[in-house]
Structure 1
Amino acid sequence: MRNLTIPALAAALALNMTVTPAEAAPRRWAAAWGSAAQPATPSTPWYGVNWSEEGFARQAPETLRQVVRVTTGGPSVRVRLSNVHGTAPLAVDGAAIAGALQGAATSRPRTLTFAGREETVVPPGRELLSDPVSLPVRPLGRLAVTLRFTRPTGAATFHHFAQVTSYRAAGDHLADTAGKAFTDTSDSWYYLAGVEVAAPRGAGTVVAFGDSLTDGVGSTVGADHRYPDRLAERLAGRSLAVVNAGIGGNRLLTDSPEYGGNGLARFQRDVLDRPGVRTVIAMQGINDLAEWNKPHQASAGQIIDGHKRLIEAAHARGVKVVGATLMPMKGAALAYSPAAEAVRDEVNRWIRTGGAYDHVVDFDAVVRRPGDPGLLRPQYDSGDGIHLNDAGYRAIAQAVDLTTLPRYRSS
């Protein structure tokens, strides 16, 4: 689809066509970084400011700069933008990518184009890939993606718990390398769904799929200490990238107005449709059984059935699935009840012994307290009784057996 006009591009997407730049056709691509999209939600006192409800370019132009750490390297990259929760077309007036330095500062930016044009429109409910751009990146390298808006965007598709700082500036600062104009900050990502690299033969991607415990809530902001980050560090320089498809608060079985579509509904987009995916590590269900989710509280049978559906969908695409046990929640008063704990125990027993997963990683066994398995070990507790701290996320990342990940090659 070379040289598509903007109307033609929108029409192609409306027909569910996959729009891939013609120049990328001979290449193999692998998802090197990603986030899972959520609908706009208000800022909260307990987590801070996000810009999703107000959107961007209310006083045009406005520039947004976002920093990500890719988990594998390659000679060129492309960027995936998301408007899946948008209700109107998203007009992007300009986009660029560069190496990230300190704060909002960057190296010399490279212009991103879309079907050969520097501006693009992402239809509501859709994602869009940029054209490839020559930009050699290394495993665990940090990139800055900058977007310029001149027309009001309305409410933004975003990812709440980015655990890293994003930057906003009034005016046109697309090519600004110093970054001093980016005085507004937020710990969320907006419209940015993925960074993909031209991958060598045999390369692939592991997707970590789940809720806040995959998303890394409780880890240090800006430190890349979520468990998928730590797993990526173990795989750095080898054949597998790691993408984090966790959403804090997300449920496996039922939608949430704040925390996105249910896991079964978003599994295709957030996992299976990403390029190069070989394996998914699935850890979902705590929010379905937690006491705070009445009347959505699910039985063990319902959660197990949901897991089986994930496995079936992955296997149909040739993707291996590692099942991760659900971790303790007794220390979180709003989540815990004896009935919820009984469900967690039954689901974990099935994950460990049911034989449905290709492999199992027993995160629960790593972090539970000896003598009271309903509680987290104190050294792994972020302080709320359910989310891990940096040490806890590192511990569960260390528990993943790398030899169970297809296409893994030792160095």
Structure 2
Amino acid sequence: MRYLTRSIAAALSALAIGLLALQPSGRPATADTQVSAWTGAWSAAPQRPSTGFEPNWAEAGFSGQSVRQTVRVTTGGTTVRIRLSNAYGTSPVTVTAATIARAGTGAAVRAGSVRRLAFGRSRSVSIPARGDVRSDAVAFRTRPLESLTVTLYFAGTTGPATFHSQAYATTYRATGDHTEDATGTVYADRTHSWYYLSGVETAGGPPRRGAVVAFGDSITDGFGSSDDANHRYPDELAARLTALGREQAVLNAGIGGNLVLNDSAWYGERSSARFARDVLDQPGVGTVIVLEGINDLGFSEVDKPTYKPNPQVSADDLIAGYRALIRQAHARHVRVLGATLLPMKGSDHYGRRSEADRERVNDWIRTSGAFDAVADFDRALADPSDPLAIRAAYDSGDHLHPNDAGYRAMAQAIDPDRL
């Protein structure tokens, strides 16, 4: 009876959102309408402004400029809205105009697909310091694995911008308001980060399973994958689920260099501090995959300015950190899948101590029963002739991060029925 009730509720919710989608595009529904029916379709974890690994615009921010960003949603719907984050801003930021469209080639969008976005029925919105906003709902049919382009115009000066450093996707910038420009020819400046945009959410369409959030560090973020190709392991998992005919969103909450137990100016707040924001507060979340800890163990093996703080972290310390995440998730009725730490022999993270702790941690993940399920990425990517190292065919070259084939193998190592 409980499952029948849920099915009826889901059908009624989908019908309600479908009716909302019939509204003229000039009269968007309010953002809080049918909140229970929304699900995250794409996400990026916000970070404080920093220089990053390659040039970006976070510290300079924007003034009189349009920023065009392309993302791939992992589930479809009939209605869409975006989420903008000013989590690390010290003052409000005004977005003068915003649009969404179907992505074309490069900075171009498909002709006739541009839709204006509103915020409380206004074209502009002020994102409060350390806060976020969602746009109003707009009728816009999307399909799983479809690429969408969101363009933001800042008429004033933003100051340093909350962003996501390692997008592995091209973002474009132009002077003036070009939110409705379809050709994209004016967008001459490029970077590989996302700015202010932290989520795309959909509603309507068939009932969906609970969203899966991949939570972790650079291996979840996609370091070593091809730019603009969507080959991060969460992308590959989304593609696999879609091929199986499962309507289920997969969201990426990875931050390169992130730590379970310590904050980092470059690599984000520690896992427990950002877990609620980046995972549990996602609409429709049902499962989280936790793959994090290799940096906690490995940073102390490396003497680099960016790898600070780098205290000695033991296997027991890391396990206590995992238990804290599990408690947070279970308190919100979210299932937790634990992922084993990948092989790292030959990398700058590798040492006698860090390797011994990695093996202890992986043994605990496999055998403790603390997680609801396990994804054994370690065994899936290990070199059969040397299990402490990543198989050469899966190695991006630094012996720590997978390449596109490695990320695909990780997605294949996850049992869909455990989601």
Instruction: Report the TM-score when normalising by structure 1.
Output: 0.90
Structure 1 position 92 matched with structure 2 position 83: no
1:296 corresponds in structure 2 to 311
Shift of 1:52: 0.5
Listed one character per residue, the Cα deviations across residues 289-321 of structure 1 (whole Å, up to 9, x for unaligned) are 112356323111110011011111111111101
Q: CA deviation at 1:31?
A: 0.3
* 2:164 is aligned with 1:156: no
What does 1:188-337 align with in structure 2 at a 5 Å threshold?
188-199=193-204, 200-236=206-242, 237-290=245-298, 291-292=301-302, 293=307, 295-332=310-347, 334-337=348-351
Q: What is the Cα deviation at residue 374 of structure 1?
A: 1.7
Report the AA paired with residue 88 of structure 2.
Answer: H
Residue 41 of structure 1: which of 50, 53, 59 is its match? 50
Distance 2:285 2:52 in 1: 33
Distance 1:160 1:116, change over 3 A: same
Contact 1:204 1:239 in 2 (8 A): no
Q: How far, CA to CA, are the matches of 2:35 and 2:378 in structure 1? A: 43
Instruction: Tell me what 1:31 maps to.
Output: 40
Per the TM alignment, residue 23 of structure 1 is displaced from its structure 2 partner at its CA by: 5.5
Q: 2:72 aligns with which of 26, 46, 69?
A: 69
- Where 2:249 maps in the other structure, the secondary structure is strand
Match of 1:142 in 2: 147
Q: Which letter maps to 2:199?
A: G
Whether the 8 Å CA contact 2:296–2:310 is kept in 1: the answer is no
Distance 1:80 1:326, change over 3 A: same
Shift of 1:202: 3.9
* Identity percentage of aligned residues: 52
The CA distance in 1 between the partners of 2:184 and 2:153, in whole Å, is 14
8 Å Cα contact 1:331-1:376 kept in structure 2: no
Distance 2:189 2:74 in 1: 27
Aligned partner letter, 1:305: A
Deviations 1:215-264 (A, max 9, x none): 01000011100100000001125221000000000001100001110111
Structure 2 counterpart of 1:210, one-letter code? G
C-alpha separation in 2, matches of 1:122 and 1:22? 15
Deviates more, 1:372-381 or 1:268-277: 372-381
Indicate the RMSD between aligned Cα atoms, in angstroms.
1.3
Q: 1:288 to 1:32 in 2, by over 3 A?
A: same
CA-to-aligned-CA distance 1:48-102 (integer Å, 9 cap, x gap)? 2211111111xxx210000000000000100000000111111100001000010
Gaps of 5+ in 2: 1-28
Q: CA deviation at 1:180?
A: 0.3
Residue 206 of structure 1 contacts residue 240 of structure 1 at CA under 8 Å; is this kept in 2? yes
Secondary structure at the counterpart of residue 375 of structure 1? strand
Alpha-carbon separation, structure 1, partners of 2:353 and 2:250: 35
- Structure 2 counterpart of 1:12: none
- Rate the CA distance shift 1:144–1:22 in 2: closer, same or farther, 3 A: closer
Counterpart Cα distance in 2 of 1:167 and 1:26 = 31
What residue number does 1:103 align with? 106
Q: C-alpha separation between the residues in 2 aligned to 1:167 and 1:210?
A: 27
Equivalent residue, structure 1, for 2:394: 380
Residue 6 of structure 1 is matched in structure 2 by none
CA contact (8 A) 1:97 1:145 kept: yes
Is the CA contact (8 Å cut-off) linking 1:30 and 1:203 kept in structure 2?
no
**1:132 lines up with 2:155 in the alignment:** no
Change (3 A) 1:223 1:202: closer
- Secondary structure (helix, strand or coil) at the match of 2:257 reads coil
Distance across 1 between alignment mates of 2:322 and 2:30: 35
